[in-house]
Amino acid sequence: MDREIASKERGRSQIWNILKYVIIIAILGAAFYFGRNALRRTGTMNDFFISVVEKGDIQNTLTATGIVKPSYEREINAPVNTEIKNVILPKGTVVKSGQLIMNLDQEFTKLEYERLKDELELKENNIGKLNLQYDKDLKDLDYTDQIKALTLSQLRAQVKDQERLVEIGGATDEELEQAKLKLEVAEIEKLMLENNLDYTRNANVKEKRNLELEFTIQQKRLQELKRKLNETEVRAPLDGVITWILEDVGRTVSQGEPLVRIADLNSYVIEASTSDRNTEKINVGMPVNVRINRSTLTGTISSVLPAVENNTVKFIVELDDNSDEILRPNMRAEVFLITDQKSNTLRVKNGAAFNGATSLDVFVIDGDRAVKTRITKGLSNSDYVEITSPNIREGQRVIISETEDYDHLNEFKINKK
């Protein structure tokens, strides 16, 4: 019996010890809660960011990031298969139109140019020779035709003589028929000769035209190769800056491979990107504000790229002032796409207090008190929030910073210092 009573007593003692700890923790928690509430019933102006409600314009915006890009960039490609001989100007150099940037090896292109030049000269000689041959053949056929015409005249005279002889009995009918047959054969031969002359004349004209076209094509190929030979001296096609250059001296490059990119620094665009969730809201012609450092520029979306990469959609912004002095290549910019806007509406500066739902509680300054007030938000952007609630008036002051420590209060006292 003694052992059973001792066991019960130990159990009661353990339960009592646990209850003591629970009561102590509850008392400390309550003391902390009510103590915090008591301490947080006052605040100072320096603890908060406060904004005055005003009337003005506001825009609803989507945010995007952007990079300043030259509106015009020219790429120079290798004119032929060759290698880089030497690079004269590095990346970042400001160049003038016609300024030499790099040299490519010309040896193979020169040999090819000389070969084509010799072929063209040979073709020109052959054309001259063929023209002489054509003229000779035409003249020979013409002379043969003239001879055949004389022969016909002679045969016609013979037929007339035979007809007179038959009338006086000096020739037989058979001899007359023979003379007429020779005349008919000669007339057919004359027709064949004239037909051959016409065909040869027309064929020669077309053959000459074909030879002239071949010569012209060869001549254009030579001119093109001459141009490519000149382009082995890579020169700036416009005033600008070298934004990229292939600097590997001795490297073999293929025809069409990029060598240099030169940007025109007189005008710029913004290459921007935003989440693909905003794709349906982005349209060509949409107004845009671009913030660079502390300056804001206006513009419109000129094009939207169809491809989506890494869950982002890209678009190009044409600036209203694309030559503003603050613009520099590859500068980063904040881009705000204007989806809606209002004029002469109540607005207050944006802050942490406005994170959340459209309808929310904020603290409005009333004398030396901050009073919790339910408001409704309208349009918003990174700078301002529209307040559509009728219980907020122009000139009132609103705490726009975080007030988490006071959210349990309906109002609290606020001191100036």
Residue 184 lies in a domain: yes
pLDDT category of residue 1 using cuts at 50, 70 and 90:
very low
Q: Looking at the structure, do residues 319 and 369 belong to the same domain, yes or no? A: yes
Q: Looking at the structure, do residues 350 and 393 belong to the same domain, yes or no? A: yes
Q: CATH code at 359? A: 2.40.30.170
Average pLDDT on 344-361 reads 89
Helices 107-168, 173-231: axis angle to 10 degrees equals 170
Higher-scoring residue by pLDDT: 356, 68: 68
Among 19-23, 129-133, 398-402, name the one with the lowest average pLDDT.
19-23
Which of the listed residues 263, 278, 310 is the one where a domain comes to its end?
Answer: 263
Q: Looking at the structure, do residues 332 and 306 belong to the same domain, yes or no? A: yes
* Predicted confidence (pLDDT) at residue 19 exceeds the cutoff of 90: no
pLDDT of 117:
83
Cα gap 315→337, rounded to integer Å: 11
Residue 395 lies in a domain: yes
Q: Looking at the structure, do residues 119 and 202 belong to the same domain, yes or no? A: yes
Q: Looking at the structure, do residues 182 and 226 belong to the same domain, yes or no? A: yes
The count of domains in the chain is: 3
Residue 180 lies in a domain: yes
Q: Looking at the structure, do residues 111 and 123 belong to the same domain, yes or no? A: yes
pLDDT category of residue 22 using cuts at 50, 70 and 90:
low
Residue 4 lies in a domain: no
> pLDDT over 70 for what percent of the chain?
90
* Predicted confidence (pLDDT) at residue 2 exceeds the cutoff of 50: no
* Predicted confidence (pLDDT) at residue 20 exceeds the cutoff of 80: no
Average pLDDT on 39-45 reads 70
* Predicted confidence (pLDDT) at residue 211 exceeds the cutoff of 50: yes
Q: Looking at the structure, do residues 236 and 97 belong to the same domain, yes or no? A: yes
Cα gap 414→365, rounded to integer Å: 8
**Which phi and psi angles does 28 have, rounded to 5°?**
-65, -40
* Predicted confidence (pLDDT) at residue 39 exceeds the cutoff of 60: no
Q: Looking at the structure, do residues 84 and 101 belong to the same domain, yes or no? A: yes
Residue 3 lies in a domain: no
Q: CATH code at 101? A: 2.40.50.100
Neighbour-count burial for 153-188, b at 16+ CB within 10 Å, e otherwise: eebeebbeebeeeeeeeebeeeebeebbeebeebee
Q: Looking at the structure, do residues 368 and 276 belong to the same domain, yes or no? A: yes
Structure tokens at 138: 């035409």
Q: Looking at the structure, do residues 112 and 201 belong to the same domain, yes or no? A: yes
* Domain span at 278: 43-69+267-415
Average pLDDT on 20-39 reads 59
* Predicted confidence (pLDDT) at residue 30 exceeds the cutoff of 60: no
Among 90-99, 203-212, 355-364, 393-402, name the one with the lowest average pLDDT.
203-212
Q: Looking at the structure, do residues 276 and 407 belong to the same domain, yes or no? A: yes
Most confident of 13-17, 144-148, 194-198, 291-295: 291-295
Residue 9 lies in a domain: no
Q: Read off the amino acid at residue 342.
A: K
pLDDT of 288:
94
Dihedral sign for Cα 160, 166, 167, 168, please. positive
Cβ distance 182 to 109 under 8 Å? Answer: no
pLDDT of 417:
64
pLDDT category of residue 38 using cuts at 50, 70 and 90:
very low
**Which phi and psi angles does 80 have, rounded to 5°?**
-145, 170
Q: pLDDT tens digits for 212-258?
A: 787 888 888 888 888 888 888 899 988 888 888 998 888 889 988 99
Q: Looking at the structure, do residues 250 and 303 belong to the same domain, yes or no? A: no
Length of the chain: 417
Residue 37 lies in a domain: no
**How large is the C-alpha radius of gyration of the chain?**
50
Cβ distance 104 to 84 under 8 Å? Answer: yes
Residue 211 lies in a domain: yes
